[in-house]
């Protein structure tokens, strides 16, 4: 749609049931709303959502969002292998893919996949379940699509009191992992991406 | 255990695996026990029809290598009634959840028990609605938590499927649990051999909703919960007693109808 | 402005509460279950009654009973349950019982595609019950509209003494969008306007429930006259009540204005769409407009009675209309009948659980050729 100056970013979060993908999507969407942006969030429901790959989709925009479905995402955040297999391909050419390093096998090591040791770090910090929030932290550090302050505020609001600190720690660890990572602008074919037609400028 | 493996495998539709069921769900154990019972019965998959309602439990027919009829919510027994009367040589098994059989299908449940048609109903009682995400079932114990019960726990009295079936006239009535994988296939086999309406209620675990909402835990903890809920003092703490409660011979509905058809009583 | 990310189903529940709903009976079914769960959480705290019934026939029956007990009553369901409710929706229509039914549509028929989106219940919402009856069907294409439509449904149900259906779809039902936090009225039941009159209980007279010091009345699913007693012989009195109601609904300006136009002033072609499909259509229209193509959108908030005047007005001004819906051709039929040849009416639809994408609608607007259902198979975004 608008090839104009409107910044519209379509994000797909995927992983296995139980990894907290729904919560991650909700935190991201809530935080973007706090930032004053237009947001839609859709999730997968039904029995299928309990099995194998699940996803949450968030669209962020500076203008009202007409169509809330993420077909080809601008950004994929992936926590599991089956998530990657099912949704890894549904992304715009040159789109950004932030993936848990164990979710892609060796042969899929595209140059433009950004792999992060979220699981290992979350385990190390003592709560593997926080890897969803860690991934959101990395997403924020790499892209700035959402502000750190809003993420923190939402986590304080949404997460059970006993787990707030662990999640904030995970968020910061995710941000640390992402800081200094330049969002790749090289597509798998090695061509320079021409900036997304969706005004994907916040990646620079 | 009697010879399992090859022959039991005949009754399982491997190509449909993995199942839609959550890890640790009791439904897989019931499907396995049904396959064992059918195997011991010495029948062939082509001579069996498994009829499922709607719900996690209702998906069982997809995993059985038998004829499969996956029907609508609550009405599996009515479909099975038509099927059995039209094709009396088939062994007809119905797999249905507690919501499927006792809420939306409650009337079909008592009517089927009353008619005494030769069908075996496996009633998967996980005390909650699994497929739709943890709402109250007619079997949810008082005080238990579901997404549609008051915050203090369910205030509705629970059905006792066994007593309901007996009152309605079922001629084979039993209850077992997924905790007891020795007993379950034996009861199912007995039910299959029984000529008339048979109910085997199986207390089974839904770790995803019942276990989580009631802070019981995952499958292993839930199996222990089943054991405790069905122990000798079951009646005293709101649990379930198990066993075969009725096994009696009464005229079977199909036989009765056919006798009329061929024009004579005796 | 305090905003909160809110799910469509939650918004529908809030709309009901804002309208004074104090009774809910339902049966779980995806993608409508969150309405049930939300009502289960909120109604008791507001002094209302929440019931999970044994099935949808029973839920609809309880809703009707509650209305006659003086409640503002509602249920919510999806396709299979909506089918089961039809008999009692007919009963509510004949007995002039105000009540609200939310149907979050999923792919059908039968168990169908649980729980992918569809708009396949549009005709059933109008004609699903046997016999002839008045019908009001609203719809929504955003979380905010899910709130507004459900709220409006109660007012219309009361005004016209008839069941009002709110058709959502699986996407709108489950989507979350920021909406301003809803203020709820204080709990408590407003009296029904007819409660104090001694007018006959049926016909054009306002609804009054049992009790409240009025003379006892008879409510029956048999055809009846204004006094409620079964008509013996031919049912002319009963037919007149139904006709009056159908006419009143057809002439209700609030219903007739249930449309919204986008870029229609100079549009050569217009899409007519509703629910989630209206959002795809809006995206399509915006991108074509950006490329200088003069197209517009007429979004429907009211499906039944069909806003015929608006459609005819549109048909007189454009070169063609494209009806887009998530079914294999439902509302396009009465739209064609209403337009009556004034302009070509084309159709684009699908019923495979996928949404119509903006590109798909846009492509049809560009070519404007042939009324064919989108070929199935192959994800369009793969
Ligand atoms: C007419 C109708 N209403 C509602 C539903 C939604 N639905 C699907 S499964 C189910 C209940 C599942 O619970 P249960 O029968 O206990 O089976 P379980 O999933 O626990 O095995 C419901 C309400 C439906 N499919 N059809
Ligand atoms: S939801 Fe419960 S009953 Fe359904 S598959 Fe999962 S564990 Fe089993």
The token pair at C217 is: 């009345």
CB proximity under 8 Å: C 344-373 to A: 355, 357-358
- Domain containing residue B28: 22-261
Test C30 with B72 for CB contact under 8 angstroms.
no
Domain closes at, from C138, C157, C181: C181
Pair (C151, C291) in one structural domain? no
Q: How far apart are the C-alpha atoms of B256 and C187, rounded to whole Å?
A: 59
DSSP state of C126: H
Domains within chain A, CATH numbers bracketed: 8-201 (3.40.920.10)
Residue in A with minimal Cα distance to C286 = A1
DSSP state of A85: H
Q: CB distance from C282 to chain A under 8 Å? A: yes
CATH number of the domain within which C311 lies: 3.40.50.920
Pairing outcome for strands A8-16 and A53-61: antiparallel
**Ligand 2 center to residue A167 CA distance, Å?**
29
Q: Please report the pLDDT score of residue C346 as a whole number.
A: 96
Q: Which residues contact A132 (CB under 8 A, 6 or more apart)?
A: A15, A19, A20, A21, A23, A24, A79
Q: How far apart are the C-alpha atoms of A148 and A169, rounded to whole Å?
A: 13
- Say how many domains are in chain B: 1
Answer yes or no: is C186 within a domain: no
Answer yes or no: is C228 within a domain: no
Q: Please report the pLDDT score of residue C215 as a whole number.
A: 83
Whether C174 contacts C78, CB under 8 Å: no
Answer yes or no: is C109 within a domain: yes
pLDDT by residue, tens only, chain C of 382 residues: 689 999 999 999 999 999 999 999 999 999 999 999 999 999 999 999 999 999 999 999 999 999 999 999 999 999 999 999 999 999 999 999 999 999 999 999 999 988 899 999 999 999 999 999 999 999 999 999 999 999 999 999 999 999 999 999 999 999 999 999 888 999 999 989 887 777 788 999 999 999 877 888 899 999 999 999 998 778 888 899 999 999 999 999 999 999 999 999 999 999 999 999 999 999 999 999 999 999 999 999 999 999 999 999 999 999 999 999 999 999 999 999 999 999 999 999 999 999 999 999 999 998 754 333 333 333 333 2
CATH number of the domain within which B47 lies: 3.40.50.970
Q: Tell me which residue has its CA closest to atom 2 in ligand 2.
A: B206
Whether C165 contacts C137, CB under 8 Å: yes
Whether residue A197 is predicted with pLDDT greater than 80 in this model: the reply is no
* Peptide bond connecting B18 to the previous residue in cis, omega within 30 degrees of 0: yes
Pair (C168, C288) in one structural domain? no
Q: Please report the ipTM that was assigned to this predicted complex.
A: 0.88
Answer yes or no: is B7 within a domain: no
Residues B29-61 have pLDDT tens digits of 999 999 999 999 999 999 999 999 999 999 999
**Ligand 2 center to residue B21 CA distance, Å?**
6
CATH number of the domain within which C143 lies: 3.40.50.970
Residue of C113, C178, C287 to mutate for A, most A C-beta atoms under 10 A = C178
For all residues of chain B together, what is the average pLDDT?
94
Answer yes or no: is C355 within a domain: yes
Q: What is the pTM of this model?
A: 0.91
Pair (C166, C20) in one structural domain? yes
Answer yes or no: is C224 within a domain: no
Q: Is B186 exposed, middle or buried (0-12, 13-18, 19+ CB in 10 A)?
A: middle
Q: What are phi and psi of C3, to 5 degrees?
A: -105, 155
**Ligand 2 center to residue B129 CA distance, Å?**
9
**Ligand 2 center to residue B137 CA distance, Å?**
14
Nearest C-alpha neighbor of B257 from the set B247, B249, B265: B265
Residues B212-225 have pLDDT tens digits of 999 999 999 999 99
Pair (C142, C267) in one structural domain? no
- Say how many domains are in chain C: 2
C-alpha dihedral sign at C141, C143, C145, C146: positive
- Domain containing residue C373: 262-381
Collapsing DSSP to helix, strand or coil, A108 comes out as: helix
Among partner residues B54, B138, B148, which is closest to C37 by beta-carbon distance?
B148
| Helix-helix angle A161-178:A148-158, to 10 degrees | 160
DSSP state of C232: P
Given a contact as 3+ CB pairs under 8 Å, which chains touch A? B, C
Using the structure block, give the residue that is written with the tokens 């959840």. Answer: B97
Q: CB distance from C28 to chain B under 8 Å? A: yes
Contact list, C44 vs chain B (CB under 8 Å): 150
In which element (H, E) is residue A136 found?
Answer: helix A131-143
């Amino acid at each position: 749609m608008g090839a104009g100056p409107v910044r519209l970013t379509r994000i797909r979060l995927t992983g296995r049931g139980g990894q907290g993908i729904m919560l991650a999507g909700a935190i991201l969407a809530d935080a973007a709303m706090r930032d004053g942006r237009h947001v839609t969030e859709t999730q997968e429901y039904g029995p299928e959502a309990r099995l194998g790959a699940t996803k949450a989709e968030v669209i962020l925009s500076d203008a009202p969002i007409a169509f809330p479905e993420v077909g080809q995402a601008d950004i994929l955040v992936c926590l599991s292998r089956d998530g990657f297999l099912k949704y890894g391909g549904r992304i715009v050419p040159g789109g950004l893919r932030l993936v848990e390093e164990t979710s892609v096998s060796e042969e899929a090591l595209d140059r433009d996949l950004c792999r992060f040791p979220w699981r290992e770090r979350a385990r190390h910090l003592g709560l593997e379940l926080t890897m969803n929030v860690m991934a959101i932290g990395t997403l924020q550090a790499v892209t700035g699509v959402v502000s750190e302050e809003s993420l923190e505020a939402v986590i304080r609001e949404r997460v059970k009191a006993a787990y707030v600190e662990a999640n904030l720690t995970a968020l910061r660890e995710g941000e640390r992992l992402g800081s200094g990572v330049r969002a790749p602008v090289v597509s798998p074919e090695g061509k320079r991406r021409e900036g997304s037609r969706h005004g994907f400028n916040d990646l620079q | 255990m009697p010879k399992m493996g090859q022959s039991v495998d005949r009754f399982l539709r491997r190509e449909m695996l993995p199942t839609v069921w959550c890890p640790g769900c009791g439904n897989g154990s019931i499907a396995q026990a049904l396959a064992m019972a059918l195997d011991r019965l010495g029948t062939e998959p082509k001579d069996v029809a498994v009829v499922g309602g709607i719900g996690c439990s209702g998906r069982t027919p997809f995993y059985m290598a038998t004829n499969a009829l996956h029907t609508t919510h609550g009405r599996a027994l009515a479909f099975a009634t038509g099927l059995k009367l039209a094709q009396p040589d088939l062994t007809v098994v119905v797999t249905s959840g507690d919501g499927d059989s006792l809420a939306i299908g409650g009337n079909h449940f008592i009517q089927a028990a009353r008619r005494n048609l030769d069908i075996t109903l496996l009633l998967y009682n996980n005390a909650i609605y699994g497929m739709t995400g943890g709402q109250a079932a007619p079997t949810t114990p008082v005080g238990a938590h579901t997404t549609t019960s008051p915050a203090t726990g369910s205030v509705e009295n629970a059905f006792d499927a066994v007593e309901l079936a007996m009152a309605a006239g079922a001629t084979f009535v039993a209850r077992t649990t997924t905790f007891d994988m020795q007993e379950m296939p034996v009861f199912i086999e007995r039910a299959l051999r029984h000529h008339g309406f048979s109910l085997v209620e199986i207390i089974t675990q839904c770790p995803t909703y019942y276990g989580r909402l009631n802070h019981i835990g995952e499958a292993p903890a839930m199996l222990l919960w089943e054991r405790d809920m069905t122990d000798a003092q079951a009646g005293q703490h709101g649990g379930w007693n198990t066993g075969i409660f009725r096994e009696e011979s009464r005229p079977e509905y199909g036989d009765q109808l056919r006798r009329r058809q061929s024009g004579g009583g005796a | 402005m305090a905003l909160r990310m809110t799910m469509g189903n939650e918004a529908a529940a809030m709309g009901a509460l804002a309208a004074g709903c104090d009774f809910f009976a339902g049966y779980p079914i995806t993608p409508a279950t969150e309405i049930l769960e939300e009502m289960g959480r909120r109604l008791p705290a507001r002094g209302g009654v929440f019931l999970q019934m044994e099935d949808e026939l029973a839920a609809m029956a309880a809703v009707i009973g509650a209305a006659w007990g003086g409640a503002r009553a509602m249920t919510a369901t999806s396709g299979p349950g909506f089918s089961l409710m039809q008999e009692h929706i007919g009963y509510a229509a004949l007995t002039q019982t105000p009540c609200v039914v939310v149907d979050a549509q999923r792919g059908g028929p039968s168990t169908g595609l649980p729980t992918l989106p569809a708009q396949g219940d549009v005709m059933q919402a109008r004609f699903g019950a046997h016999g002839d009856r008045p019908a009001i069907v609203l719809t929504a294409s955003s979380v905010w509209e899910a709130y507004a439509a459900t709220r409006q449904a109660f007012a219309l149900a009361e005004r016209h003494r008839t069941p009002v259906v709110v058709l959502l779809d699986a996407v709108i039902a489950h989507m979350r969008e920021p909406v301003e936090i809803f203020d709820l009225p204080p709990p408590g039941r407003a009296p029904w306007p007819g409660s104090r009159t001694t007018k006959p209980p049926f016909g054009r007279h306002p609804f009054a429930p049992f009790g409240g010091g009025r003379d006892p009345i008879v409510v029956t699913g048999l055809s009846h006259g204004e006094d409620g007693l079964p008509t013996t012989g031919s049912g002319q009195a009963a037919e007149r009540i139904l006709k009056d109601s159908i006419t009143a609904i057809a002439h209700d300006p609030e219903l007739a204005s249930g449309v919204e136009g986008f870029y229609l002033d100079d549009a050569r072609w217009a899409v007519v769409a509703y629910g989630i499909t209206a959002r795809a259509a809006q995206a399509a229209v915006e991108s074509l407009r950006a490329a200088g193509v003069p197209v517009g959108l007429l979004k429907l908030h009211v499906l039944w009675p069909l806003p015929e005047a608006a459609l005819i007005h549109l048909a007189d001004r454009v070169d063609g209309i494209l009806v887009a819906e998530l079914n294999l051709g439902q509302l396009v039929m009465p739209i064609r009948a209403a337009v009556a040849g004034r302009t070509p009416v084309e159709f684009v639809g699908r019923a495979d659980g996928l949404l119509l994408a903006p590109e798909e609608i846009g492509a049809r607007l560009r070519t404007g050729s042939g009324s064919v259902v989108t070929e199935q198979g192959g994800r369009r975004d793969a």
